[in-house]
Structure formats: C-alpha cells, structure tokens
Amino acid sequence: MTKILITAAGTGTAFSYVNSIAKNFPQLEILTADTNVSEHVTSSLFAKKHYVVTDINSNTLLKELEDISVENNISFYLPLIDLEIKKSFSSNILSKILVSNSKKFCEDSLEKNNYEKNFNLNNLMFPYIFKNTIDKDKDYILKKNGGFGGRATKNIKGKDIGLYNSEFYIYEKIIGEEFTVDCFPYNDVVYTSVRKRLEVKNGVCVKAEIIQSDYLNNVANEFAKKYFLKSPFCFQVIEKENKFYLIDVNPRLGAGSSMSAVNGMDFFSAHLALLLGEDPLKYLQKHHDRCIVTRQYANYLMKVY
C-alpha cells in the first residue's frame, strides 16, 4: 500500500489533507507526526500510525523523520511548516520523497523582509520596512522571517516595539481589503480561488467572499512561471486605493484553503490526485464565480478514560 507521512499533523492544513484522503484516496495509508500526542491531534484519527516528534528548531527532527520514513517505506513525505520544508532539502532520504515546490521558492517565501526583491511581479506593492524612524503612537506590524499561520506576527504601537527582539522586522501597517489566493499550477495553467476576508477570529478567517480577479490570477501565473511551480501554493495581499500589497507567500496550501473546496475547488484532493498520477482537474470544478463561505468547527472524541 502506498504510504504518505504528513507532518505538523495538528494544523488545519493537515486535517484537510487527511480528510481528502479518507474521502477520495483509500489506496493511501496515512502516517502522521506532530509535537503533540495522538489524542491531541485530530488528524491522527485517520492515521495508521502517529509519531510524536521534536519541534522544528530541534537538531534531531530530520533524523527522526528519516527513521520514520525508512522504517515504514514512505512514498510521499508532506511537511506543512515552511521551515521544515526548507530543511528537508538537506536530507538525502527526505528530499527523495518530499512533496513540495522548489527549494528556491520556499526560501524566498520565508524571507519576508526581501519580498520586494524576490517577488517584484506584475506591479505588486510592498509594505515599507522601517529601520529607525518610529512614531510611538502609530500602529505597526512586526514579523519574523519564517512565521506562519499568523504566528510571529504582531500588531502593535510604536511605543511597544522595544519589547521585541531584533528578529522582528517593523512593517508599515496597510489598511484595506485582505485577500488570500489559493493556486494550483497544472499544464501551464494556474487554477485559482480568490478569497476576500470578511471576518477573522483569533487570526483565523471564518467568513469569506470568493470572487474573481484577473489581476490576482495574473500574479499567480507570474509566480508559477518565475519558479517553475508544480505544486499548490497560496499568497495574501491587501488592496488599498486600487493597489495590491503582498504581505505573505506560502509554498504550500493553508488551512483556509478548505474554504475554496466547498465551492468546488478542492486543492487538497487535486494535489493528492496529481501525486498518484490521476487527473487533478476533476477536483477543480468551480461551482460559482462569486459566493460567501463561512467556516465552523466540528468536535471529535479523541480519547475515552
């Protein structure tokens, strides 16, 4: 049986992948890995085995994942933390089974302070990065390179910047409409779903409007052409005064990509189909050009005492 190892299994992205496998790809055997035990990881309900591993900053993580992969004869290794993806390229074992876009795209996505240099595409704008001149009463965005899912991102006043270390870069705060673009490159075409955030709770989008945008579709195509992308990815922009500011790029899908799936754009299933040599386009059948999608949480019984 073909086996897939999904790491960062506690993320919403991982759950979307295992849910897609359970529904559409029974020929795949799932193994999960996370820093948390199985009863704290919903995705593990779908897994044949679950492994507890050290975190991304550990010196032993790659060796742990190599051992798991060899022991279980893993065919596909799907990491869902950008820094783990980058590190996995250095492993002879993991790099051969790694499911990812290119190392260069991953590295450039992690370097948020260099977006203007790396992603100067299709007249995109970029938030200004401050070095010394700070207004103590003004709002700023602090970001660390490599942060994901809203982590390592702070919305603070200038007077509080001194509370954070030098790993944070100080960005201009752009106020406008925020969009996430889910992207699936296939046969020289990038299939997209553009989600405008309508409501966010604790950093998670719970209400979105799916729209059409020729401009953002063109940006997605420019990404794919520049980096020769073959796997799905997503990026975020803020529109202000008819200009789009790039604020985040992920070399993979995100948890919010599941919102596109209910409109027929199931990027998770399409990605898995591609890995297995099946037609991904059967999972990319957009139902509506414009619609509203809301997100609710489900409950799972994980352990009985």
pLDDT in tens, 180-228: 999 999 999 999 999 999 998 877 889 999 999 999 999 999 999 999 9
**Residue 303 counted as domain residue:** no
Q: Are 251 and 234 in contact (CB under 8 A)?
A: no
Q: Is 98 exposed, middle or buried (0-12, 13-18, 19+ CB in 10 A)?
A: middle
Distance CA 250, CA 3 (A): 25
One domain, residues 85 and 16: yes
One domain, residues 159 and 229: no
Q: Are 172 and 246 in contact (CB under 8 A)?
A: no
**Residue 78 counted as domain residue:** yes
- The dihedrals phi and psi of 64, each to the nearest 5 degrees, come to -60, -45
One domain, residues 59 and 182: no
Taking each helix axis from N to C end, the angle separating 267-275 and 12-24, rounded to the nearest 10 degrees, works out to 60
Number of domains in the chain: 3
Task: Indicate which CATH number applies to the domain containing 67.
Answer: 3.40.50.20
Question: Which domain range does residue 57 map to?
Answer: 2-100
Residue pLDDT, tens place only, 223-277: 999 999 999 999 999 999 999 999 999 999 999 999 999 999 999 999 999 999 9
Strands, sheet with 153-157, edge to edge from the N-terminal-most edge strand: 129-130, 168-172, 139-144, 153-157
| Number of alpha carbons in the 13 Å side-chain half-sphere of residue 192 | 26
Higher pLDDT, 156 or 49: 49
Q: Which two tokens stand for residue 281?
A: 């386009």
Distance CA 305, CA 232 (A): 40
**Beta bridge partner(s), residue 182:** 193, 234
Share of the chain above pLDDT 90, in %: 83
pLDDT at position 83 over 70 = yes
One domain, residues 161 and 228: no
One domain, residues 116 and 39: no
One domain, residues 236 and 117: yes
pLDDT at position 146 over 90 = no
Query: How many other C-beta atoms are found inside a 10 Å radius of the C-beta of residue 202?
Result: 6
One domain, residues 287 and 153: no
Closest CA to 287 of 269, 304, 265: 265
Q: Please report the sign of the dihedral spanned by the C-alpha atoms of residue 119, residue 255, residue 16, residue 280.
A: negative
Q: How far is CA 149 from CA 12, 21, 236, in A?
A: 10, 23, 11
pLDDT at position 295 over 70 = yes
One domain, residues 25 and 163: no
**Beta bridge partner(s), residue 154:** 142
**Residue 274 counted as domain residue:** yes
The overall pTM is greater than 0.85: yes
Task: Indicate which CATH number applies to the domain containing 237.
Answer: 3.30.470.20
Q: Which two tokens stand for residue 188?
A: 């020289």
pLDDT at position 149 over 70 = no
One domain, residues 25 and 152: no
User: What is the pLDDT of the chain when averaged over all its residues?
Assistant: 94
Closest CA to 194 of 212, 176, 206, 208: 212
Q: Which two tokens stand for residue 258?
A: 């599941």
One domain, residues 209 and 277: yes
One domain, residues 17 and 89: yes
Predicted local confidence at residue 166, as pLDDT:
76
Query: How many other C-beta atoms are found inside a 10 Å radius of the C-beta of residue 95?
Result: 13
Predicted local confidence at residue 70, as pLDDT:
99
pLDDT category of residue 153 using cuts at 50, 70 and 90: confident
Predicted local confidence at residue 168, as pLDDT:
87
**Residue 301 counted as domain residue:** no
One domain, residues 19 and 117: no
pLDDT at position 69 over 90 = yes
Query: How many other C-beta atoms are found inside a 10 Å radius of the C-beta of residue 184?
Result: 30
